[in-house]
Amino acid sequence: LALKAEGVDGPTMQALVDRLGIELVFTAHPTESKRRTLLTKLRRLGELLRDRAHPELARDPAVFDPESVEREIASLWLTDRSRVARPEVADEARTGLWYFDTTLYATIPQLQADLEHALAEHFPGVKPPVRWLTFGTWMGGDRDGNPNVTAAVTAEVLLLHRRLAIEKMRFAARELARSLTVSDRRDVVAEALRFRRNGKPFRYHEDLHLSKHLEELSKRYPHEPYRLLLGVLRERLAQAVGEVRDGKVLAAETVVGSCFDRATLTETFAAIRDSLSAGRGVLLTGGELRTAIHQLEVFGLHTARLDLRQHSSHHETAVAELLDRDDYPKLPEAQKCAVLREALAGAKPRRAAEIARFSAHTRNVLDPLVLAARAAAKFGADALGLYVISMTDGVSDLLEVELLMKLAGTSLPIAPLFETLDDLQRAPEILRAYFELPGRKRPAHQHVMLGYSDSNKDCGYLTANWALYEAQDAIAALGATAGVRLTLFHGRGGS
List the catalytic residues.
Answer: 29, 457
CA atoms of 362 and 365, how far apart (whole Å): 5
| Overall size of the chain counted in residues | 495
CA atoms of 391 and 449, how far apart (whole Å): 10
How buried is residue 288: exposed, middle or buried, by Cβ count under 10 Å (0-12/13-18/19+)? middle
CA atoms of 150 and 89, how far apart (whole Å): 10
CA atoms of 301 and 303, how far apart (whole Å): 6
CA atoms of 370 and 408, how far apart (whole Å): 5
Ramachandran angles phi, psi of 306, nearest 5°: -95, 115
User: What are the Cα distances from residue 62, in Å, to 40, 67, 77, 179?
Assistant: 18, 10, 21, 28
| Strands of 414-418's sheet in order across | 22-26, 133-137, 305-311, 384-390, 414-418, 445-450, 485-490
User: What are the Cα distances from residue 323, in Å, to 314, 318, 356?
Assistant: 14, 9, 16
